[in-house]
Amino acid sequence: MEIINNPNKSKWSEILKRPTQTVDDIEQTVNQIFNEVNQKGDEAIKKYTSYFDGISLAEMEVSQLEIKNAASFVSIELQKAIELAKHNIEAFHKAQKSSKIEIETTPGVLCWQEKRPIEKVGLYIPGGTAPLFSTVLMLAVPAQIAGCKEIVLCSPPNKEGSIASEILYAAQLCGVTKIIKVGGIQAIAGLTFGTETIPKVYKIFGPGNQFVTVAKQLATKHGIAIDMPAGPSELLVVADDSANAAYIASDLLSQAEHGTDSQVILVSTSKNIIEAVSKEIQVQIKKLPRQAIAEKAIAHSKLIYIENDAFALQLINEYGPEHFIICTKNESFYMNGISNAGSVFIGNYTPESAGDYASGTNHTLPTNGFSKAYSGVNLDSFLKSMTFQKISKEGLLNIGETIELMAEAEGLQAHKNAVSIRLKDLKQ
């Protein structure tokens, strides 16, 4: 990891640059696949599955027998772990339910807001180098709580033409209605346009690589909503001399092993901690099965010394990390001051892995600085807020003249007439 000492503010944007390709580099490929899927449906999906995943599939939808058999390939211990994680995720997301808001703004004018589920949602679950069955819980649990009618899950098949048993087990546990063996750009395209096998949905959720992220952004051009731009994983840790270097190194490596384009950063007011963490990373990385992946991610990651907490917080808010761990004596300073982060982890005994799996918070979070404007996935992500109003005769008499005056001032005579015709009857 590169060690940077007290960088000038003018260099921050360069130092904090993500190791990702630009949209322009990827968009041409995404457009090509989208166009082909739109025109040829399943035929194009199968073509690109064969090309990218190295498997030709006769049937893309996972059968009920495959789902039923999946449980036998998941150990009882792991089943119990998945169920405990599901319980905690359910508890946290059920607590996010809000009641109907109702108010009489003026006598006779009743306004209220209610929430309705998004009827059709698509969940993208990365397979690749690590089948993320935990993401099934993070997306399907709130979708089920929200009451979504169709929950369509897409995940890339392995070389045997199957989806990981853990993914299938978690999916049936959480009420997923259809599971499709498809990944990458073609999965997002299928959910966007619909094919013979893949239903068209109203909103697409889930993390993925840079190609999936750009594909989701392109889906919005075709009228499909997305949760957020969620690309390669990232973590920023802030630490001082009170922190444990071994713990910090383990957290940094836990994100580095996600993929070669992941990014991890340590910001510290202590040069001693930076040196200790650097040494710990070299020790711990050698014991990882995914050492090669972690090493490539670590190569473009940073250890940054900042002379005081105030500057450190400014730099962190400028970066807007997906995951943010606070390991400092003055943790309240960072808790109260952080404006831009997907999810925050506080103290030496709150590893980021807890949020990834079982604490209850959601791990589908904005990356690449999008935490400055986007929230992570939550219950409201699967709901729409709808407003209602009912106006009595008294109510229209109370606000009718206001509406007439405003409509006339804007030059919209028909708007005014819609009120005037009613007022005329009421005043007779």
- Give me the pLDDT at residue 128, please: 66
255 appears as a binding residue in the annotation: yes
Mean pLDDT over all residues of the chain? 96
- Give the pLDDT mean for 311-319: 98
**What are 146-162's pLDDT values in tens digits?**
999 999 999 999 999 99
222 appears as a binding residue in the annotation: no
186 appears as a binding residue in the annotation: yes
Rounded Cα distance, 195 and 197, in Å: 5
- Give me the pLDDT at residue 1, please: 85
Percent of the chain with pLDDT over 70: 99
Domain 2-20+232-360 fold is: Rossmann fold (3.40.50)
Q: Which residues are catalytic?
A: 322-323
348 appears as a binding residue in the annotation: no
**Is the pLDDT assigned to residue 131 strictly greater than 90?**
no
DSSP 14-50: HHT--S---HHHHHHHHHHHHHHHHHHTHHHHHHHHH
| HEC-encoded secondary structure of 88-144 | HHHHHHHCCCCCCEEEEEECCEEEEEEEEECCEEEEECCCCCCCCHHHHHHHHHHHH
Domain ranges of the chain: 2-20+232-360, 23-230, 392-426
- Give me the pLDDT at residue 320, please: 97
323 appears as a binding residue in the annotation: yes
Q: Report how far apart the first and last C-alpha atoms of the chain are (Å, whole number).
A: 81
Query: How would you classify the pairing of strands 203-205 and 225-226?
Result: parallel
φ and ψ at residue 125, rounded to 5 degrees: -115, 110
- Give the pLDDT mean for 173-199: 98
Rounded Cα distance, 215 and 124, in Å: 12
258 appears as a binding residue in the annotation: yes
**Is the pLDDT assigned to residue 127 strictly greater than 90?**
no
392-426: which CATH architecture? Up-down Bundle (1.20)
Report the SS3 class of residue 201: coil
The position carrying tokens 């980021």 is: 352
Lowest-confidence region among 226-235, 339-348, 376-385? 226-235
CATH superfamily ID and name for 23-230: Nitrogenase molybdenum iron protein domain (3.40.50.1980)
Q: How many CA atoms lie within 13 A of 135 on its CB side?
A: 21
**What are 335-364's pLDDT values in tens digits?**
999 999 999 999 999 999 999 999 999 999
Two domains, one topology: 2-20+232-360 and 23-230: yes
134 appears as a binding residue in the annotation: no
217 appears as a binding residue in the annotation: no
Query: How would you classify the pairing of strands 101-106 and 120-124?
Result: unpaired
Contact indicator for 372, 399 with CB cutoff of 8 Å: no
Q: Is the dihedral of CA 42, 47, 49, 55 positive or negative?
A: positive
Model confidence, pTM: 0.94
DSSP 250-270: HHHHHHHTT-TT-EEEEEES-
Rounded Cα distance, 304 and 362, in Å: 28
